[in-house]
Structure 1
Amino acid sequence: MNRLNSEVLREIGTLSRSIHSISDNKFKELNLQKGQFIYLTRICEHPGINFIDLTVLLKIDKTSTTKAIQKLEAEGYIERKKDLNDKRVIRLYPTKKGLESYDYIIDQENKNIETCFKDFSEDDKSIVIELIMKMSKNIEAEWKASKMILGGHEND
């Protein structure tokens, strides 16, 4: 029977699921459903981002992005606008409500970061961040290949 070479991905997954569970509970008061805060924060941080770039940025499938965008728009957190130069491209922008919620979401995320880094030295924090970013970069090509992304666009 094969054995797992390292528990690292399981631990990262457990950490991620725990944080998402805490966040989803907190953000119910904003009427955000499971995981929608991730989309909202990225749209606030990248106003005018298009659908494909958002999907790639988050490493999420198109169907999930479509559903989340529809719900965020229906709740008044974001709005869609046609690109001025290319009418086929839809740009996503936060509304006033979205921007106000963003500040609350970031405060909560910062609390989670503080909890995760409790008793870490500044050097430890830097090392963890550097190593996780390196892991993300290493896996990105595999993710793109699994989604058949060519030139920044996903093939159907």
Structure 2
Amino acid sequence: MLLTPRLATLRLGFGQHMFMLLLSMKEGVNQKTLSEQLMVDKTTTAKAIRKLESEGYIHKEIDPIDLRNHKIFLTDTGKAVVPKILDALAEVMEIGTKGMSAEEYIELMRLLNIILNNLNNHVQTQDSNDSIEKGT
């Protein structure tokens, strides 16, 4: 609720900032990798990519190694938006961590990383089990 209005002027919908930030760190990944890294389903990723491409924030190139895939890159416009996203996130984070010591914040991040890793491992295990059950 706090982040969405701060990103509205950038024409970014809910969650699309995550794709932009990941691409700013790992340009040239494909949609499957984006889905896996952000732990979102393929449909959500496809919609976000279409929107970001229509806004001129990203462009796709055919992967020369696997012609079925597209590598995704930030455009210059997309690169210029990333600092604004980071500023908006910092504002919201400042509101959310008010009254919290640096040590408490570090501990919170440590605990959230444990939870995130546990959830990610569970999803990976589920995917492996599903593939085994399907015989793929």
- What is the percent sequence identity of the aligned residues? 26
Q: Does 1:28 align with 2:8?
A: yes
| RMSD (Å), alpha carbons | 2.2
1:34-73 to 2 correspondences below 5 Å: 34-73=14-53
TM-superposed CA distance for 1:145, in Å, is 4.1
Q: 1:96 to 1:150 in 2, by over 3 A?
A: farther
TM-superposed CA distance for 1:25, in Å, is 1.4
Within the candidate set 58, 64, 74, 1:84 is matched to 64
In structure 2, the gaps of 5 or more residues are 132-136
CA distance in structure 2 between the aligned counterparts of 1:33 and 1:137, rounded to whole angstroms: 26
In structure 1, the gaps of 5 or more residues are 1-20, 152-156
Within the candidate set 79, 97, 104, 1:117 is matched to 97
TM-superposed CA distance for 1:135, in Å, is 1.0
Tell me the equivalent position of 1:129: 109
CA distance in structure 1 between the aligned counterparts of 2:14 and 2:111, rounded to whole angstroms: 28
Range moving further from structure 2, 92-101 or 133-142? 133-142
TM-superposed CA distance for 1:150, in Å, is 8.0
* Equivalences, count: 132
SS of the equivalent of 1:30 reads coil
SS of the equivalent of 2:67 reads coil
TM-superposed CA distance for 1:125, in Å, is 1.3
Tell me the equivalent position of 1:6: none
Give every structure 1 segment of 4 or more consecutive aligned residues whose post-TM-superposition deviation is greater than 6 Å.
Answer: none
Superposed CA deviations along residues 52-94 of structure 1, whole A, max 9, x for unmatched, are: 1100111101011001101110110000011233322211100
CA distance in structure 1 between the aligned counterparts of 2:130 and 2:26, rounded to whole angstroms: 22
Q: TM-score, normalised by structure 2?
A: 0.86
